Amino acid sequence: MDEVPEIPGLQIRSEIGRGGMARVYVAVQTALGREVAVKLVRPRSEADLVHLQRLENEAHALAGLQHPHIVELYDFGRTADGGMYYVMPLLPGGDLRGWGVPVAEERVIELLEALLDALTHAHAAGIVHRDIKPENILFDRTGRPLLADFGAALRRSRSRLTDEGLAIGSTGYMSPEQARGVEVDARADLYSLAVVAYELLTGCLPFEGPDALAIAVAQMENPVPRLPEALRHWQSFFDRALAAEPAWRFASAEAMREALEEVAEAAERPAPMPPRSLRWLGWGLGGAALLVLAALLVLTRDPAADLDRIGGLIGTGQLLPPAQPNALDAWLAARRQGVPAEELEGLRQRLLESLRAEQLEALAQGRLERLLPLWEQWQLAVGALGAHADPLVVAHNRQVEAALVPELERALRAFDRGEAALALRLVDASAMASKELLELASRVRALPDGAKPFADPGGPWLRLIEKPRGDRPGYALMAAPLDPELWSAHAPDSAPCKAPTEGVRGCIDAGQAADLAEWLSRRTGARYRLPHRGELAAGLDRLPRMPMYALTADCRRVQRSSGEGAFKRGLERVRGFFTGRRTQPAQSMPECSGQWALALDGSGQARAYTRPSPAVTVVLLREVPPAVGP
């Protein structure tokens, strides 16, 4: 093993991997006695400093993410010789490249669901991974997948680490816009994840070539490959997920997961029984004859007759597939036959107006559940017709967005993402949503969904106890008492404490709790503090039961007399009887004698502590301010 620098708190054991400037070691965190993985990077030239800067970006990105399918960052820092290290869990399960291909559908679906959950969390925090590939999908000893290596990540709050025109990512997996080195968003990650899924199912990449340029050209010019019959129910999923233009892809990880659920349902349906061989041959010959006849009819068809037919289909409401025949397919066929664009323009406008009219009634009634399928069809039709910039389309999109804004704002006021479930699906289906609407939707996605736990980027899991109402703020409590890992991230040099409950940090006093709350507030951007006694009591039934006490912000007040002793006061009364002078009454002042803590064992018992104890922990409160306007 090469000589490694000393890193405070770590004992390096052995090297387990290397590549370029990076070395990965097994080490032991001496404070906790646990094995960890340490990635150490040493720059060898001035050019390597750029990579080191990306690695630091990875550390900052990971520090703000806490998710069961994202590799956790325990610690990071600089070494004495100018290198950089960061400490992660030791993951003995290898990476996705170790899976043999092809992989069973149900296993691919399960993996995608976990990774899409991770990307939903990362994208909500404004982080785009930009380098999703099999080597960056790791597994722990239980087989749980974790997304790793955020070294190429972009954050909305930070400037780009690359100049325009420099592609960051892995050949074969990066999106077309990423290969061109232009600005990317979350849809680039969804494209890369779709490539991974395609490779797992088929054993090959969807677009291949001898070099990065050839692959990029194939992505832009070639259609998505057709899947074999056994995987045909995945075709529409990949047609959208691997679209060359980002506007045609899934707008979010949540939208991609909803489409994946439809694929899973289709995969579970039994396949139809194959026909008998002779009948199959007869149908095949008959079908071939029909195809030849249809081709002859298409070649000899009069374009003028096609235009009349399109107008008739629009008039009878046969607008889109799956209806057969339908106006959209007929219009597209006429365009392929070379009918001049000016002759088709009027029919395109009529088709768009008819599709818009179907949505206006649902809009007027405020029925988003009825609008959703019509809106999804509208998006696909607009794309097929190449009408994104058409004034009618732009105006209609603005009208729909105007109807979605109140729904999203209502969810913000209620502090409940579930209130805007339909509105968010409409946003996801939109290929041309405005920046303002996407930002508003992003704020709503950061809200908890009903009673489910939620977390701030870089913060602990929380449970909402009281929603904000009007101008009155609400609050959430930590879903579990303080764990040693969060405490270690805040105070890495603190003395160990053996709490009576495994996985909980004890020996916390009010001053330490206040410091922790201030640190979490800076880290997450939300306001954390110790709860008052009534606030904690209201959420005790939502916390796990254990033989420990959680601190509150309330002191036990006792009265302390500030007057003289009882004997002196008696003498004063005697003197006063003879002299007529009144004695001063004894004065008492409230004094804080210990901090109230509530039992977490379900009894609701309160006890005051004057000093830290292994049985005393903390459950911080996270304030939920009233919703403000967008």
| Catalytic residue positions, numbered | 131
Measured over the CA atoms of residue 48, residue 49, residue 54 and residue 56, the dihedral's sign is positive
Dihedral (C-alpha) 118, 250, 242, 176: value to the nearest 10 degrees? -80
- Other Cβ atoms within 10 Å of 575 Cβ, number: 12
In a 13 Å sphere around the CA of 198, the CA atoms on its Cβ side amount to 25
Separation CA 543–CA 6 (nearest Å): 41
What residue type is 34 in one-letter code?
A: R
Cα 318 → chain centroid: 39
Separation CA 95–CA 76 (nearest Å): 22
Q: Is 547 within 8 Å of 615 (Cβ atoms)?
A: yes
Three-class DSSP labels, 414-434 = HCCHHHHHHHHHHHHHCCCCC
Three-class DSSP labels, 506-569 = CCCCHHHHHHHHHHHHHHHCCCEECCCHHHHHHHHHHCCCCCCEEEEEEEEEEEEECCCCHHHH
Strand 549-561 relative to strand 616-617, pairing: parallel
Strands ordered across the beta sheet of 34-41: 10-19, 22-29, 34-41, 84-89, 75-78
Best CA proximity match to 176, nearest among 248, 96, 121, 255: 248
Q: Is 113 within 8 Å of 70 (Cβ atoms)?
A: no
Separation CA 371–CA 359 (nearest Å): 6
